């Protein structure tokens, strides 16, 4: 394993991932974030507060957990970014959920400068990030995957090689597309059942006993939709909408229409317009259930 690793972005998901990497890899882990208080909170776990410039000089592999491809591009190639200061650095691992075409373009740009970009987006919850039980879908060559797998296994219990650059993003985006569309259907079902005189907690229990049972129902349906609880600092409506835009961009790029996802994206946009952008994304139920009600 590498002796020095970098980690940039220690927010809701990245904090747990970085902690597990530091505790399990046996490597020195340098970390940076816009809020360095997030980094300092990991000091007891062996994470060393650093800067992008220092990480580029000292680490030979850097992991990114950032909001979107725009931030990934800026950290990699922007002024003061990793490429500008790279010394030991030879591999950047993007664990964000990023646009497929732009990921592949960035990989080509970095390759021309002698640096590899591997996409390794993560799925599952913040709790999974903390426990090191994420699903990680990887786009890389066979050799790159073999070299990175021990590090990725510190953060995920399921590390899947999906194909070459961009393939990890394709699989992650499709995972989120299916999940968010499923939750949209559950939110719609809850609203309809309530209007028809059946409580949504009973509906959730019944669906779990039948052929509509799913992980989305077990977690999101039973624990959040059925209770009408949609906290902030979870997978927000804004992030869910961003991921569906990635799915729609991918569908356009391959020449397929996706009316189902377009419908869910519109519902999320309405939720954001109602002031729910930072709430857990199943909050779209509230907008659906308010249809036709008098102000």
Can you tell me the distance from the alpha carbon of 268 to that of 181, in angstroms, rounded to the nearest whole number? 11
**CA distances (Å), origin 93, targets 89, 115, 226:** 11, 11, 38
| Angle subtended at Cα 233 by Cα 231 and Cα 239, rounded to the nearest 5 degrees | 100
Are 83 and 112 within 8 A, CB to CB?
no
Residue of 131, 172, 233, 242 marked catalytic:
172
227 catalytic per annotation: no
Can you tell me the distance from the alpha carbon of 253 to that of 173, in angstroms, rounded to the nearest whole number? 14
Are 249 and 101 within 8 A, CB to CB?
yes
Are 106 and 76 within 8 A, CB to CB?
yes
CB contact set of 226 (below 8 Å; sequence gap of 6+): 190, 200, 201, 203, 204
Under DSSP, the state recorded for 232 is B
The catalytic residues are: 172
């Amino acid at each position: 394993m590498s002796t020095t690793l970098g980690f940039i972005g220690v927010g809701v998901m990245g904090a747990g991932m970085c902690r597990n990497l530091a505790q399990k890899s046996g490597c020195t882990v340098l970390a940076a974030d816009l809020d360095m208080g997030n980094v300092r909170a990991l000091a007891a776990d062996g994470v060393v507060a650093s800067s992008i410039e220092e990480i580029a000089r000292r680490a030979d592999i850097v992991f990114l957990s950032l909001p979107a491809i725009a931030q990934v591009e800026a950290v990699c190639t922007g002024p003061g970014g990793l490429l500008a200061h790279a010394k030991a650095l030879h591999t950047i691992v993007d664990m964000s959920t990023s646009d497929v075409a732009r990921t592949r373009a960035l990989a080509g740009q970095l390759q021309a400068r002698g640096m590899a970009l591997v996409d390794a987006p993560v799925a599952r919850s913040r709790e999974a990030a903390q426990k090191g039980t994420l699903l990680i879908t990887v786009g890389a060559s066979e050799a790159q995957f073999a070299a990175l797998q021990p590090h990725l296994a510190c953060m995920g219990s399921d590390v899947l090689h999906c194909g070459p650059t961009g393939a990890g993003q394709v699989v992650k985006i499709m995972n989120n597309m299916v999940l968010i569309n499923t939750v949209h259907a559950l939110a719609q079902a809850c609203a309809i059942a309530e209007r028809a005189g059946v409580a949504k907690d009973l509906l959730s229990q019944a669906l779990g006993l039948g052929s509509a049972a799913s992980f989305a129902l077990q977690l999101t349906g039973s624990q959040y939709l059925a209770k009408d609880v949609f906290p902030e600092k979870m997978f927000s409506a804004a992030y869910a909408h961003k991921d569906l835009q990635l799915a729609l961009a991918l569908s356009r790029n391959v020449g397929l229409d996706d009316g189902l996802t377009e419908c869910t994206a519109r519902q999320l946009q309405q939720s954001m317009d109602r002031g729910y952008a930072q709430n857990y994304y199943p909050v779209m139920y509230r907008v659906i259930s308010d249809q036709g009600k008098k102000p």
